[in-house]
Amino acid sequence: MFAVVEIAGQQFKVEEKNKVYVPLLTSEPNSELTFDSILLAGDENGTKVGTPYLDSPKVYAKVLEHVKDDKVFVFKKKRRTGHEKFNGHRQQLTRIEITKIG
pLDDT for residue 56: 83
pLDDT for residue 30: 95
Tens of each residue's pLDDT in the chain, 102 residues: 999 999 999 999 999 999 999 999 999 999 999 999 999 999 999 999 999 999 888 999 999 999 999 999 999 999 999 999 999 999 999 999 999 998
pLDDT for residue 5: 96
Helices (H), ranges, 1-102: none
Number of separate domains in the chain: 1
pLDDT for residue 45: 92
Give the structural domain span for 35. 2-101
Cα torsion 12, 16, 22, 28: sign: positive
